[in-house]
Structure 1
Amino acid sequence: MTRVDFLISYAGPDRPWAEWAAQQLERNKFTVELDVWDWATGDNFVLRMSDALARCDRVLALLSKDYFDRERFTTDEWTVVLAERPDKRGRRLIPLRVAEVEPPSILRAVLYRDLFGVPELEARQRLLAAVTGPSRPAGDVPFPGSAVNNAPTPPTGGARVPGSLPAVWNVRRRNPAFTGREAELAGLRQRLCSGDRALVQALHGIGGVGKTELVVEYAHLFANEYDLVWWIDAERPELIGEQLAALAVAADWLTPGASATPAATESVMRRFHGMPGWLLIYDNAPSADAVGALIPDGTGHVVITSRSRQTSKVAAAPIEVDVLTRPASVQLVLDVRPELSATDVDRLAAAVEDLPLALTQAAGLLAETGMTVDEYLQELTVDPAAVLSEGPTGHYPGPLAAAVAAAMRHLAGQDEAAAQLLRLIAVLAPEAVPLRWLIGTPEGTLPRPLATVASRTLALRRTLGRIAALGLARVDSDVIQMHRLTQAIVARTTSSAETESSDRLLVEASPGYTGEPALWPKWADLLPHLLVRMPVTASSALRDLAASALYYLVLRGDYRTAKQWGHLWHEQLRQQLGPDDLAVLEIAAQLANAHALLGEYQEARRLNEDTLTRRRRILGDDDPVTLRSADSLGSNLSLLGDHEQARRRQEDALARSRRVLGDDDAETLSSANNLARSLYELGEYEQAHSLYEDTLTRRRRVLGICQDR
């Protein structure tokens, strides 16, 4: 029987500590047995544990709350070793705390050391001191009164101490009430580390089952194993570019304010090739296939969460996330309401079908209101019509909808402003809503009493706290976000007046000028909500905002998304409002821009000619908006090779612009620049040079930069 120096004894959630400790010991020439490294799938766990205890010299016990759970095998490990008589080297059990925990009374007389809450170098020194035993100093002990610099040298190489985060990281805080899922976490880790190039792991399951919470827990649990971890909200794949650009800025791959162009995305993807130690998380994707083009080709790890299990185009291993086991469900509730009886909690878990989101909301409602389980179960039957019966994955669980309805009734009785806020954002996208949108809004934007509450910071924070306490939304320091299931249920109770308030809120949240890259992150916040509301609403202000959003997409280089949404909005609004509506014409103009920039010049020309004809008839030949259309059509003609006709149109547009707007107006200078380009294409180089030079001089004087529309 081959002996080993140490067996690592630990609870499943503490696996990162176990792997870190094992690696430190092996680097110091000790032999180690660790189940996840040395025991194969299919081995008899009990026999392997028995053999390991028999042939190890010492057992390194990593103490935490989970370690002393009586249902775990760790109980057998430490009690067996503790019962043995000490040999001449001393006791075989070496206890090390990896979390704040009070050991059982039988262990309180045993000396232990703490590895948590200290820098990695100190944790490593404590670990090695614990296994090698005390020793006398080899050199002089420093005089306590001297100013000796005892700063430790930084660690070199290897995984960081568990609990430490990588420099590039944007994962939200872990859920302190997270429980269970140990098998899923261990399985996910094993599959990701199964080879040199792990398959993409695609977690799927119904909404509210806890896919996101599982991945958040995994990211925090194994954060020390990665140099980069980035979380991407992937519900709308066309909006991922902004988040990849933010990653590139955080990693110092791109400068702040860099555009989220397709070229920038490709550059980020190339960065991952051959680069180890990274984890990308695509959360709530429509399917794994929907983000397939954004999966880097490298040796890092990719995790996708989705309701869909579709992975036909991506080499992804589909993993179904089911509801919690009953013991985990019970523990989840008892963490919030420890005074409840096991029988009552079991009834509650059965009523909500062990769905994590439903359990969290139910526990929050019980804690907030003090209602009994019987009262809560009665509430589940009050409004069966509130059950959301249709969803992307079939039928949503009825108890979840009833729990949300009960929580909303309680919230409305406690704080009507809080209920108004939830009903207002329920008709928006299931994305984060910046709290800055609520603060300082003009009179009439928000309904009362929400408008009054939003005007006072303390009152708003109290309202947000009541929402968070009931589990109806996630509230961070600067955003509020509802879960899509909760949102779908609450939206059914939103009044038409509150829906109009939602639209007004989006209009007031407009960042304004689209040509300023510094404002683009604010446009990125706004866009998902606008995509949901357009063209559902009849608000003219929101239609104008939609046209500006299309221009933002064009400016940032996302021409295909601009084309997709521009076409949809143009067709639907054209049918609703008619082809001469000014907002319809502006959307058509931006759609033409997208076509032109995609090289679809004939379609761009068709749209621009129609838009120009209608604007001339409605607004007149000299209106600045009409002049912009004329200039755009001229540029189209030039791109199609009809430089002579382009020249005639651009000369007319420039003459009118100079007369109406003045020689130094930005629109006039843009027209002059476009005419100079056509003159150059016609071979009239001297005229082109003269016009270019005059335009540049004026732009430098007026704008300070050379700017083209």
Structure 2
Amino acid sequence: MKDFFISYTRADKAWAEWIAWQLEKADYSLIIQAWDFHAGSNFVLEMQRAATEARRTVAVLSPHFLNAIYTQPEWAAAFADDPTGTDRKLLPVCIEKCELKGMLKAIVYIDLVGKNNSDACDFLLHEIDKALTDARGKPATEPAFPATISASRPEPRFPGSLPPVWKVPFLRNPNFTGREQILADLHTTLAAGKNAAVTQPQAIHGLGGIGKTQIALEYAHRHKNEYACICWLNAEEPQVLAGEIAELAHWFDLPEKDTREQDAKIDAVLRWFGSAQSWLLIFDNVEKADAVRPFVPQGGAGHVILTSRSPNWRGLAQPLSVEVLDRDESVAFLRQRSGCDDEKGAHEVAEALGDLPLALEQAAAYMEASALDFSAYLKLFTGQRKRLLKKGQPPDYPETVATAWEMAFLQLKNENKAAIELLNLCAFLAPQDIPLELFTAAGDKLPASLQKKVADPLAWQETLALLRRYALIDLQDNHLNCHRLVQAVTRDRLPEKKYATIAEKAVELVNAVFPSDTDPLDYRSWPDCERLLPHGLSVTDHAARHGLQLTETATLQNQMALFLQSQARYAAAELLYRRALKIDEKVRGFEHEAVAIRLNNLANLLQDKGDLIAAEPLYRRALAIDENALGQDHPDVAIDLNNLAGLLRAKGDLTAAEPLYRRALEIGEKTLGPDHPKIALRLNNLAGLLRAKGELTAAEPLYRRALEIGEKTLGPDHPKVALRLNNLAGLLQDKGDLNAAEPLYRRALEIDEKALGQDHPDVAIDLNNLAGLLQDKGDLTTVEPLYRRALEIVNEKLGADHPSTQTVQRNLQSLLGKIKGGK
């Protein structure tokens, strides 16, 4: 005979295994389904064998256990054998707060709720001993690890404790109900490939509001004991997804974590997944398979889950379709969430709402906030539904959803108009991680009613709490989340004129906090840019979809593009630059100075990409606009002259470039003063041209003055200082002073690696320069790895046809030829 049979429901498997482990560790024998039932056996007969062969039944009590069907006969059989509890046949162990009813209510249970691992273990064994012998007390020390336990099975983590890496932005939903079958199917399918190199990802798909995200979230919480790493990624916007993948380098403490080059971080993270074990990666709200395909790990012993409204996942994932809740699940949820125990009323409300989880949640929240029972809510719902249906069917979601939210909107309008205004603004932002500072720092950009609430900390908190009470937002730390379906309903109910007004306000909000007065190469602003990027993309996209041509949109797109360009994300940056240019040309006119700024930035990007032919006419057009609008000696004209001269120099036309550089320097010194950072840029550029012409003696003092200004105004570790160091070192190398040049090259490399990352194109330039100097010194053994690392960077970042790539390639081939010739 075994000592115990562990009775539990699937949702509490982690707890059951932990309890079983502690009991076996204390030298008890037991039967537990997870360890002792095998494929091919008859489940009912196995349960019968377990119940008859075990002296006692340990019931793992939780709301899931009490609502499950198959656990009832298990504890009932033990209760029938010992109705008075004299022989302790039934030993309930409570692992989650729940309300006991009927016969179970009379049995004293072992309460583990709220205890940590060590305390729960001690208390469990102490209470078990008391129940069985009434003599055995708590042991003085923890029992030694039993030699009979197989070392092949690791001790389960304490249920409720998180994996070492837990990047999940949502708390567990205490009202999650049902979905047992799809959770079981999901676990079975994922576990089927556990020993394979790659486990096929699972795509959960269904219409908006069906509960896809909640299913993935519940799965993560239920099975967290099975993983050492669980990471949740917002996959709705590709640019945001790339940033979230890169951020994992910090979570995994990878060597590349401080790299500023995003692609290098992503590569490192994917390599980590490819070699690691026991991880779960969740891509939430994927629009298309191609958007996540580059980020699905190849290799490794982990699992991938995707949630999406699309059913088209063959080839990348095994799709699992999510339907509406079963009626019994809907009824159970409504009764639990609302606190109303009227089963018939809950059934009627569930039927009216079509068993859609998000609509059920909103209805229950409304009932709780308004102190309504099911019949009263249903009466209001029916009346409101008839009025809404007269306006036509909503485009992207069931009309039951629109009806449920319309009721909440009307109630909010009566209670707190500012709450409606806040929700309207949130509807145009990205759904997750909306910073509260967007509103608290907005000042007079907010609608008057909301501005007044934000200015009063207590009223502001009450406004947020009201929206949360009606299940319209979720608050976490210093940000809020708003379900994308709530956002869609909110936008769709806005009249066209109001829509345009709110869309414009939303752009202004993000514009006000997105870094704009700092150098895009200043990496200190990059975290803020990355955090605000999804909201900037969202508000500008909504404005574009509605045909709004806003100068604020162009400004925000320009700033986002500057950030993306600094990260070498050229394709995304170019798209935003072109959109900003198109808006300003239409709204401000083709000859406006703002258009010149857009042209300069786009041309600079094209030059970075090596497309000099496309960049030149943009630079020339920007110069003509500023000369006509601002005058011949304006500082902006100096910028245009400098940019155009740089392009001409890159094309090899030094004669045409020199007078432009000299004119730009003259204007700058006259208008900005001799020690302004922009003067350093002009000096550096003119010195570079003189060096290219062979006028080294004239160039050196210009380089040294530029370096001195840069160190003084930007600090000694700024990337622009690295540029000045590189240039001065190059001149010294040309003069033959190799010993003086080498420490400057090395310092430049150190600055750029720290500030920009190991795989930034500027680092490749540093490597190429240092390699060339070492080659001139005859140190051929250390040169080849530098050239190869530089070539790898520029090949990946700039492409094989970029001039920088071709330069490094030629340098490497020349070196290899010399090495071969030397041998």
Structure 1 residue 161, shift from structure 2 partner: 0.9
Rate the CA distance shift 1:57–1:138 in 2: closer, same or farther, 3 A. Answer: closer
Structure 1 residue 659, shift from structure 2 partner: 3.0
Does residue 323 (structure 1) correspond to residue 324 (structure 2)? The answer is yes
- 1:547 and 1:583 in contact (8 A); partners too: no
Which residue is 1:475 aligned to? 475
Q: 2:509 aligns with which of 505, 512, 516?
A: 505
Structure 1 residue 326, shift from structure 2 partner: 0.8
Amino acid at match of 1:526: L
Question: What SS class does the counterpart of residue 437 from structure 1 fall into?
Answer: helix
Structure 1 residue 397, shift from structure 2 partner: 0.7
Which residue is 2:447 aligned to? 447
5+ residue gaps, structure 2: 146-150, 724-823
- 2:162 and 2:225 in contact (8 A); partners too: yes
Which residue is 2:385 aligned to? 380
Question: What SS class does the counterpart of residue 173 from structure 2 fall into?
Answer: coil
Structure 1 residue 689, shift from structure 2 partner: 4.1
Superposed, 1:13-28 pairs within 5 Å as: 13-24=11-22
Structure 1 residue 512, shift from structure 2 partner: 3.5
Deviates more, 1:546-555 or 1:126-135: 126-135
Rate the CA distance shift 1:109–1:594 in 2: closer, same or farther, 3 A. Answer: same
Does residue 627 (structure 1) correspond to residue 638 (structure 2)? The answer is yes
Structure 1 residue 328, shift from structure 2 partner: 1.2
Amino acid at match of 2:438: W
TM-score (norm 2): 0.76
**Which structure is higher in helix share?**
2
Which residue is 1:345 aligned to? 346
- 2:555 and 2:580 in contact (8 A); partners too: no
Amino acid at match of 1:119: N
CA distance in 2, matches of 1:29, 1:672: 81
Does residue 82 (structure 1) correspond to residue 79 (structure 2)? The answer is yes
Question: What SS class does the counterpart of residue 160 from structure 1 fall into?
Answer: coil
Q: 1:524 aligns with which of 530, 536, 540?
A: 530
Rate the CA distance shift 1:108–1:309 in 2: closer, same or farther, 3 A. Answer: closer
Structure 1 residue 238, shift from structure 2 partner: 1.2
CA distance in 1, matches of 2:40, 2:330: 28
Structure whose CA Rg is larger: 2
Rate the CA distance shift 1:246–1:370 in 2: closer, same or farther, 3 A. Answer: same
Amino acid at match of 1:461: Q
Which residue is 2:110 aligned to? 113
CA distance in 2, matches of 1:702, 1:671: 15
CA distance in 2, matches of 1:262, 1:512: 24
Superposed, 1:193-272 pairs within 5 Å as: 193-194=191-192, 195-196=194-195, 197-253=198-254, 259=260, 261-272=262-273
Residue by residue, what CA displacement relative to the aligned partner does 1:536-573 show, whole Å, maximum 9, x if unpaired?
Answer: 34432342232222112212332221122223343455
- 1:6 and 1:31 in contact (8 A); partners too: yes
Superposed, 1:400-549 pairs within 5 Å as: 400-443=401-444, 445-494=445-494, 495=498, 496-515=500-519, 516-534=522-540, 536=544, 537-549=548-560
CA distance in 2, matches of 1:326, 1:584: 59
CA distance in 2, matches of 1:351, 1:67: 29
Question: What SS class does the counterpart of residue 284 from structure 2 fall into?
Answer: strand
- 2:549 and 2:587 in contact (8 A); partners too: no
Superposed, 1:656-695 pairs within 5 Å as: 656-681=667-692, 684-695=695-706
Residue by residue, what CA displacement relative to the aligned partner does 1:398-435 show, whole Å, maximum 9, x if unpaired?
Answer: 11011112211111111111111112332333343211
Residue by residue, what CA displacement relative to the aligned partner does 1:29-59 show, whole Å, maximum 9, x if unpaired?
Answer: 7765443555567865433322333444553
Q: 1:305 aligns with which of 304, 307, 316?
A: 307
CA distance in 1, matches of 2:712, 2:115: 59
Q: 2:94 aligns with which of 93, 97, 108?
A: 97
CA distance in 1, matches of 2:40, 2:441: 62
Amino acid at match of 2:69: R
Structure 1 residue 591, shift from structure 2 partner: 2.7
5+ residue gaps, structure 1: 142-149
CA distance in 1, matches of 2:642, 2:199: 53
- 1:209 and 1:355 in contact (8 A); partners too: yes
Residue by residue, what CA displacement relative to the aligned partner does 1:257-301 show, whole Å, maximum 9, x if unpaired?
Answer: 763621222122222221223222221121333111112232222
Amino acid at match of 2:185: G
Amino acid at match of 2:537: L
Structure 1 residue 454, shift from structure 2 partner: 1.0
Root-mean-square deviation (CA, aligned residues, Å) is 3.3
Structure 1 residue 109, shift from structure 2 partner: 6.4
Does residue 65 (structure 1) correspond to residue 63 (structure 2)? The answer is yes
Structure 1 residue 452, shift from structure 2 partner: 0.7
Rate the CA distance shift 1:136–1:35 in 2: closer, same or farther, 3 A. Answer: closer
- 2:394 and 2:402 in contact (8 A); partners too: no
Aligned length: 688
Question: What SS class does the counterpart of residue 580 from structure 1 fall into?
Answer: coil
CA distance in 2, matches of 1:508, 1:18: 52
- 1:5 and 1:57 in contact (8 A); partners too: yes
Does residue 563 (structure 1) correspond to residue 574 (structure 2)? The answer is yes
CA distance in 1, matches of 2:329, 2:225: 26
CA distance in 2, matches of 1:636, 1:27: 75
CA distance in 1, matches of 2:238, 2:710: 38
Which residue is 2:626 aligned to? 615
CA distance in 1, matches of 2:471, 2:143: 44
CA distance in 1, matches of 2:185, 2:75: 25
- 1:543 and 1:583 in contact (8 A); partners too: no
CA distance in 1, matches of 2:672, 2:246: 38
CA distance in 1, matches of 2:260, 2:144: 40
Question: What SS class does the counterpart of residue 279 from structure 1 fall into?
Answer: strand
Residue by residue, what CA displacement relative to the aligned partner does 1:433-492 show, whole Å, maximum 9, x if unpaired?
Answer: 21112225333x112211111101110111111111112222334223322222122113
Amino acid at match of 2:182: E
Rate the CA distance shift 1:34–1:137 in 2: closer, same or farther, 3 A. Answer: closer
Which residue is 1:145 aligned to? none
- 2:256 and 2:268 in contact (8 A); partners too: no
Rate the CA distance shift 1:39–1:378 in 2: closer, same or farther, 3 A. Answer: farther
Residue by residue, what CA displacement relative to the aligned partner does 1:295-314 show, whole Å, maximum 9, x if unpaired?
Answer: 22322222211111232553
Amino acid at match of 1:436: E
Percent pairwise identity = 31
